Structure 1
Amino acid sequence: MNEMTLAYWNEYRKENGSHPPIDVEAFQFGDDANALAALVVSGKKTATCSAHVLYEMENELLPYVGQYAIVLDATERPVAIIQTTDVTIQPMNEVSEEFALAEGEGTYADWWDIHERFFSELLGSYQLSFSPSMKLVCERFIVVDRFNVKE
């Protein structure tokens, strides 16, 4: 986590008491970090998904309800702090249209095309193949703070 992001998190924690945990993840969404970060800040993106198999391969903990994260743009500048409100694991071909639309990237068909391409490329880098029934970790979140925006 860079200095600016750490300072942002520490300021958020200071302003919101000791409730938020000390540990927080900072990350960029997908393969167009700026566009996806803008969707988060605008409130159009309130969900995301990731390949379950990668959590298993990397022995990484799954996201959990109440977890905080800092969303970064393509230059690794913080844009917002989000908090996870729901986590489910389901096959990609069973993801609802409502969830896909909550990802903020267009129609259900747009969501499918974007994610099939993204997961095909990502899994290919691990010598794995995309499958329409691959398990996804589907998260919903709320924006709890926007960087440099005080309401």
Structure 2
Amino acid sequence: MSDEIDSLPPLILGDAELQDQLVAAVLSGAKTATSSLHRSYVADDQPLPQPGRQRLLARDGSVAGVVEITDVQIMPISEITDEIAHAEGEGFVDVAAWRRAHEQFWGQVGESAGGSLPEDELIVVERLRLLPPAQTA
């Protein structure tokens, strides 16, 4: 791996088996967006994602590929669309299915109290694309 790739910020999607699935979805081209709770960045005092290249990490910590974050938006959960749900590449048929799955996940990992989130809950939506190997060096 080149020093340049090693110096890129890491992109870690999920954990354990979910991480395997999400990395595979990025590598297949099915996943072109990801979302997270804005409040998690605030609670952890972490900077918000920024456009630019990142190294996509596999579960074992190896670099699975390099992605470019092309856009970052912060929007209320009520403004998430079917298009965003489909771009997540996880097979959501519509935004309602996306929302149920994400509310459950965020509750399970302790990022929310579980159950329904308020309509004004802020979501960070990142658009991404996998870079071909020639563009990763």
**Could you say which TM-score interval applies, normalised by the shorter chain?**
0.7 to 0.9
**Which entry has the higher C-alpha Rg, 1 or 2?**
1
The Cα shift of 1:9 comes to 4.7
Aligned position for 2:77: 92
Over the aligned positions, Cα root-mean-square deviation in angstroms equals 2.3
The aligned runs of 1:58-77 (5 Å cut-off) are 58-65=44-51, 67-77=52-62
Partner residue, 1:121: 108
* Identity, % of aligned positions: 31
What is the 5 A alignment of 1:7-22?
Answer: 8-10=1-3, 13=4
Question: What is the match of residue 24 of structure 2?
Answer: 38
Does 2:88 align with 1:103? yes
Q: Distance in 2 between matches of 1:93 and 1:27?
A: 26
**Alpha-carbon displacement from aligned partner over 1:36-81 (angstroms, at most 9, x marks no partner):** 100000110000011101111222111122x221112222221111
Name the counterpart of 1:136: 123
Q: Compute the TM-score of the two structures, normalised by the length of structure 2.
A: 0.80
What is the number of equivalent residue pairs in this alignment? 127
TM-score, reference length from structure 1: 0.73
Aligned to 1:24: 8
Report deviation, 1:24: 2.1
Aligned residues of 1:40 and 1:46 also touching (Cα < 8 A): yes
SS of the aligned residue for 2:71 comes to: strand
Q: Following TM superposition, by how much is the alpha carbon of 1:99 offset from its aligned partner in structure 2, in angstroms?
A: 0.8
CA contact (8 A) 1:39 1:104 kept: yes
Instruction: Please give the alpha-carbon distance, in whole angstroms, between the structure 2 residues aligned to 1:70 and 1:9.
Output: 11
Distance in 2 of aligned mates of 1:61 and 1:74: 23
Q: Report the AA paired with residue 56 of structure 2.
A: V
C-alpha distance in structure 2 between counterparts of 1:132 and 1:9, whole Å: 44
Kindly provide the CA deviation profile for residues 64-116 of structure 1, in whole angstroms up to 9, marking residues without a partner as x. 22x22111222222111111111111122320110110000112244223211
1:47 to 10, 33, 51: 33
CA contact (8 A) 1:28 1:76 kept: no
Q: Distance in 2 between matches of 1:84 and 1:44?
A: 15
